[in-house]
Each structure stands twice: as structure tokens, then as C-alpha cells.
Amino acid sequence: MNSADLKPAPAAARAIARARSVGDGARALGSRVLPPKVKGFRIGHRRGRTAKLHALDGMCECPTCGYFQRVPELEPGQVADCRRCHGQIGRRHTNPPVSTPLAFCVASAVLYLTAILEPLMTLDLYGRDHTVTLLTGPYELWREGWGPVALLVAAATAIVPPIVITQMLVVLLAASRKTLPGWAPGVMRRYERLRPWSMIEVYMLGVFVAYTKLIDLARVEVGPAVYALAALMVTMAATDSTVDVDLIWKKRRVSRFVRRPNGQRVIVSLIDATEMELPPAQRLVSCTSCGLVCASEYDLPQEDVLGRCPRCQASVRRRKPQSLARCVALVLAAVVLYIPANLYPVMTIIKLNRGGGYTIMDGVRGLYETGALPLALLVFFASITVPVLKILGLSSMCWCTWRGSRIRLVDRSRLFRLIDFIGRWSMIDVFMVSILVALVHFGGIGNITADPGVFAFASVVVLTIAAANCFDPRVMWDAAGMNGAALDRSETRPDGQHAVAACLTEPVGA
């Protein structure tokens, strides 16, 4: 695989250094400061001249560390990793890019209809039985006065899954055309925003934990909806792992001009990244939606909206706005709510007129005492360890960024990816409570109701997910001075060349 490096010409480097000495921050697109000309990358400016933007084909910004690197056309089965933080930045699947995910997506639609229409579980307690569906849990929580928790459970299990399945179906049908129609990028963007909130796989684990707790209390029959949900979990994961988002985006042409927020027209030219000298990082911006990298003629501000992406029309900015402050505020709110989430009971269990409140730790102890050690460990990990790991991890990342620390940047980037991935699994306990309160309604013989702990715990989970969403991991590298000018120095190899091509694995079967 040809992975020749991109390097700025010495003349360009000198000119960039001169441009920096003029003053920081004032050379945003459209500023009046006159920067010098750089060979191979035009930054010359005349008053009233139409602004220009280069869309760089074959270039990518690592979403975790903000390192711009060249990613050559990948072969089937090949994976591209970031050269600096080792996160995955590209992957080409071996399956057909549209037909395979489309088949899984159609299967998901059928399975979802089965899951929502068929009964979930039937509980038989001393001859009295009660059957519930997927919607009974949120309904019972709503009836008991836990409206926000009911909405969260309903959204994650019944509202968001059909929306994301439909969105993916529409995008894949659009991608089967020769070029992607103009409305498809908007659907794709909404899909990517909503997908983390469809939590069928976490709900399945909640069903499993609820079942283990109930078999001690009464006779439980599993309905067809549970099997449909288990299959839906597999087909949705299969859709995500077979769809090639990169190839879909490549079917959308890059517009020849875009407009800035002030209405100014900017001419866009598509350039092969292998055929040009590397512009300084401060002039590059990538679209977080479709990944297209654009090079401006001037240094760009960090957090302002720079305009629309010439390929997908998403708002483009270099970094998420107020990333650190918003993350700290959400983590602090999560810390405050974590105390009642563990001190207050999440549910009250009454059996034969006896019983009381159960906290999250009581639930783990109960599973351990019934002999379900693996499940007890799993719930302990998801409900106790994961929230603590997220709060401590995000706090340490914010602290290190604030201090501008360069310590363990690669490990911190890995930790961020882990936190982002495991965050939703803490919802197991909330889903379990929703299933139990829906099923067990037999007055004094057996009754389960939700308690304030479940509201506090659900809030902690949502706040930590939101905090991880707000935090832009690239600012850790910015604060350490690793993006921009310092990036070139730190990554210079002994031979003076700049290592900016992604690490590629060998293709499958090669």
C-alpha cells in the first residue's frame, strides 16, 4: 500500500511562521489582515476577492485527537488507525456496501413490529396472572408519577428504534442510486445523532436480570416479544457493522460553492490530498458528520460556526463549543445526583404483605444470594462501576485539559472512547425496574413500585452520557499544544519527514 507522507515545503513552513507572527485569532475567514503567500497553498488576499476553500479528498481528521492525516483508498477488509492515538479512523467491509445492511435493516423492521405487538412476559402468582408488552413498563412508570423516567424508557425501547430503522432504510435505498440525493445527508445526520439512544441490547439485559429476580417470586412465561427483541438486537448490530458510511458519503458530490453565516459566497475546489503540500492544521477543518476535510486560506477560529459543509450541508466548526465548561457542569450535576441514586431505594418489593425498599446495591446482593454470581457481577459493573468510572474519567480529562497536561494523552484518548462506548450500559437497572413495576401488580400478595432512587439513577446515566457527548477529546491534545504548530515538531521523524499517513492493516485474505 502506497502511504507516502505529506509534508509542507520549507518555503511554506517559513511563510506560516511569518503569518503567525502577525497576530493570533484575527485571521479568520474574511479578516482584513494581509497574510503572506505560501507556495502550493494560496493564502494571498485582496479586498473584495471571492473566498476560496479546498475540499481535500483522501484526508481525514482523527475524531479523538484532531490529527489530520492522509487515508488512502482502503481495500476490502482493510482498517486505518490514527497514527497518533491509535483510534480507528477508517474501515472497508468485505460485504456488499448496500444490499447486506439493507437486508438486516428490513429484518429489523419486521422484528420490531413483532416485539411491539406481541406479549413480553406473563407472570403467574398464586393462580393470578398478568401479561405485559414493551409499552406496559413506561405506562406504569408514568401512572406512578415517574414521567421523565417513563419517557426515557419509552424513547430508548419503543420510540427511537423504529425511527432509526426507518432512517437507515431510507438512507440505504437512497445509497442504492448512482448519486446520493440532496435530502439523504440530513437523514443520515439525524440517524447518527439518534442511534446511541436506541438501547435494545441494554434492554435485553434488563429483561434477563428481571427474569432472574422474578423466578424466585412466581412462575414466569417468556413471550414472543423477548425472542423478537433478542433477534432485533442482533440485526441492528449487524446493520451497523456492515454499513459502509464512508462509501455512502462518497456517493454525494461536493458542492462547487458554499455560503458563510454572513451570506458570503465561497468557491470550493476538490483537490486530491496526495497531490498537495500539507496546509497548517489551524487552516484545516473537518465535518464531524461526513468527515470531509476542508482547507481555508486563513487560520480558522476554534469554536465559531464556519459555514455549511460543501458535501452534507451540516454546520461546520473546528471544535465543539464550550466543551470543557459544559462537560464540567454536567459531571458536577451527575456527582450530586449519584448520592441519592445509591442511598434511596430504586423500588419497593412487597410479598405477602411484607417487604421494603431495595437500593441498587441491595439488588446486586440479592442476585449474589440467589446464586447468580455472573449476573450480580454484571449488574455491579454496569450500575456501580461504570457511573463512577465515567465521573472520575471525565473529571480527570477536564482537569488535565485545564492544566494543559501532556501526560498519557494516548491512554486518555483510549479512556474517552471506552467511556463513550460503555456509558449506555448503566441503563440496565432502570429497564429492570420498568419491567418489574409493569409485571408485579397483585396487591398484598405481591407488588413492586418504583422509588425516588430510580429517578436519581436515570438522571446520573443521562447526565454522564450528555457530558461525554459535550466533551471534545481533541481539546486534550489542543491544550497540550499537540495540534497545530507543535504537532509538526512532535511528529517529525529522525529523517525530518512528517509522518502524517494513517496506519493501515493488511486487507483480509492478503
What are the residues binding Zn ion (CB under 5 A)? 62, 64-65, 67, 82, 84-85, 87, 287, 289-290, 292, 309, 311-312, 314
Min separation Cβ 464 and Zn ion, Å = 23
In the complex with Zn ion, the residue whose CB is nearer, 67 or 112, is 67
In the complex with Zn ion, the residue whose CB is nearer, 189 or 441, is 189
- The answer to whether 81 and 502 are in contact (CB under 8 A) is yes
In the complex with Zn ion, the residue whose CB is nearer, 370 or 405, is 405
Return the biggest CA–CA distance within the chain. 87
Min separation Cβ 474 and Zn ion, Å = 9
In the complex with Zn ion, the residue whose CB is nearer, 87 or 97, is 87
**Rounded to an integer, what distance in angstroms lies between the CA atom of residue 296 and that of residue 300?**
7
Min separation Cβ 413 and Zn ion, Å = 6
Enclosing H/E stretch for 110: helix 99-117
In the complex with Zn ion, the residue whose CB is nearer, 69 or 459, is 69
Enclosing H/E stretch for 102: helix 99-117
DSSP secondary-structure letter at 38? B
Min separation Cβ 166 and Zn ion, Å = 22
Give the count of beta carbons closer than 10 Å to the beta carbon of residue 2: 7
In the complex with Zn ion, the residue whose CB is nearer, 71 or 290, is 290
Coil, helix or strand for 446?
strand
Min separation Cβ 78 and Zn ion, Å = 18
In the complex with Zn ion, the residue whose CB is nearer, 199 or 487, is 487
Min separation Cβ 281 and Zn ion, Å = 13
Tell me the C-alpha to C-alpha distance, in Å, between residue 490 and each of 18, 155, 286, 327, 483.
20, 46, 22, 28, 10
Instruction: Kindly write down the DSSP assignment for every residue of 264-331, as one continuous string.
Output: -EEEEEEEEGGGSPPPPGGGEEE-TTT--EEE-SS---SSS--EE-TTT--EE-SS-TTHHHHHHHHH
Enclosing H/E stretch for 221: strand 219-222
The residue written with cell numbers 492544521 in the block is 281
- The answer to whether 43 and 296 are in contact (CB under 8 A) is no
Chain CA centroid to CA 494, Å: 37
Please, what's the b/e burial string for 382-399 (b: 16 or more CB within 10 A of its CB; e: otherwise)? bbbebbebbbebbbebbe
Min separation Cβ 290 and Zn ion, Å = 3
In the complex with Zn ion, the residue whose CB is nearer, 309 or 349, is 309
Min separation Cβ 333 and Zn ion, Å = 29
In the complex with Zn ion, the residue whose CB is nearer, 85 or 300, is 85
> Residue by residue, what is the 3-state secondary structure of 223-279?
CHHHHHHHHHHHHHHHHHHHCCHHHHHHCCCCCCEEECCCCCEEEEEEEEHHHCCCC
Tell me the C-alpha to C-alpha distance, in Å, between residue 50 and each of 42, 267, 280, 346.
13, 7, 21, 61
**Rounded to an integer, what distance in angstroms lies between the CA atom of residue 213 and that of residue 436?**
9
Min separation Cβ 223 and Zn ion, Å = 43
In the complex with Zn ion, the residue whose CB is nearer, 290 or 394, is 290
Cα angle for residues 141, 147, 152 (degrees, 5° grid): 85
- Residue 310 grid cell: 460543501
Min separation Cβ 58 and Zn ion, Å = 15
Helix 147-154 vs helix 136-143: crossing angle, to nearest 10: 170
In the complex with Zn ion, the residue whose CB is nearer, 87 or 101, is 87
Min separation Cβ 178 and Zn ion, Å = 20
In the complex with Zn ion, the residue whose CB is nearer, 55 or 102, is 55
3-state helix, strand, coil in the chain (%, to 5): 50, 15, 35
Min separation Cβ 286 and Zn ion, Å = 8
